Amino acid sequence: MQHRSSREISLSVISFNARLKPAHFYLSSIRNQRLRHQQISNHWTYHMPLKTPSKRPRSAKAITIASTLALGLLAQPAQAALTFSFNYLNPGQGFDDPTFGAARKSALNDAANLLGVYFSNYEANLTYDVTSSSIDEPRLASAGSSQYVVPGTFQQSIVQTKILTNGATDRNGTEADGYIDWNFFENWGLTDNVAENEYDFKTVGIHELLHSFGFSSNIGATGTGLESKPSGTPDTWATFDNFLTDASGNRLVSTAGVFDSTKVAALTGGSGSVLFNGANAVAANGGVGVNIFAPTTYSDGSSTSHLDDDTATLAELIMTSSVSPGLKTRELSALELGILKDIGYTQIEAPAEVPVPATVWLMLTGLMGLLGLNRRKAAL
């Protein structure tokens, strides 16, 4: 999380708080895992050592609530794409709040649905453990999905593998494929009518889910990977990291999975110092690499895992690191679709119809015109 000004709030990536090796689901003791999400990871009920994923009994709280998603916003229903099952782990609170819970769950389902239509050529049921808090802190929400630890490789997340194998491979068995934590302290706009003092829940929901899909970097402040191996030795990286370069197009992490120690400075080099250089993203970006968020002050859980907010042409895209209040786009840009193709989702495609009524877009245009530089922002 981070403060970019006294009024800003952030969302963190929590892709790395549990680690898998074949036949063993570790938990990640706090000292072994990346510390970037420690305060959140303490919430996860599955943070206990497991012998094998398949033998671990589910806790009583981790009851799967299947939510088969309707495609109601589309004029013509698409074929089944992805389905999402959210396990709400805080009874009576947050998403299960007696007053607001139903609308919050509905908004999360809507966000998942809005994202799912891009994946209509895939078929998988994705399970998520969902927790929440209500704390005045610079974080709106966070999400992630675990990876296997295989030093010297670029690993898909559990969710990513499940999608790309059309549900055939669930590398952590009955354990939730991903996790989401939501902070309900701030005002949230749960519908398509998002007030100027509310954060757009659905936009943030899409953003968070995409982190779990693999839109996320393992690179730490000093160039360490998932296991914080010593400099110069192979570590475990995300698929995303396979495409990150410096401004000159030189890889940050070698194909052998070793971070180039001469590239540490690029991680805090500001706009243009770290690029996503996958072929599809480059093609969607006028032939050049895409600016990745690498602010001069390293931001744990945010740096290198987002598009660069400080690049004007990127600032309003869903996968930037911060968001201001008000209604935002829920559509992925060609650039974001390019990145998703590069990290493996070659069958992704934009839905045939914009799943938001035209009147909403008119309002969005109006709201965007009102946004000034001093508006409160929140990092995603």
Select the binding partner of residue 380 from Ca ion, Zn ion, none (C-beta < 5 to 8 A, by kind). Zn ion
**Segment contacting Ca ion (CB under 5 A): 32-40, 171-179, 206-214, 349-357?**
171-179
- Single out the residue of 172, 217, 236, 273 in contact with Ca ion (rule: CB under 5 A): 172
- Binding mask 361-380 toward Zn ion (x if CB under 5 A, else -) reads -------------------x
When asked if residue 140 is in the footprint of Zn ion (CB under 5 A), the reply is no
Q: Which is nearer to Ca ion, 172 or 280 (CB)?
A: 172
Residues contacting residue 60 through CB under 8 Å, at least 6 positions apart: none
The single residue listed with the structure tokens 């936009």 is 203
Query: In the complex, what is the shortest distance from the CB of residue 210 to Zn ion, in angstroms, rounded to a whole number?
Result: 8
Is residue 309 close enough to count as binding Ca ion by CB under 5 A? yes
Q: How far is the CB of 214 from Ca ion (least distance, A)?
A: 15
320 binds Ca ion (CB under 5 A): yes
**Least distance to Zn ion, CB of residue 207, Å:** 6
Cβ at position 11, least distance to Zn ion in Å = 5
Q: Per CB under 5 A, does 280 bind Ca ion?
A: no
Whose Cβ is closer to Ca ion: residue 225's or residue 325's?
325
Q: How far is the CB of 9 from Ca ion (least distance, A)?
A: 12
The only residue of 96, 129, 170, 235 in contact with Ca ion, by rule CB under 5 A = 170
Query: Site residues (CB under 5 A) for Zn ion?
Result: 380
List residues near Ca ion by CB under 5 A.
Answer: 170, 172, 175, 177, 309, 315, 320, 322
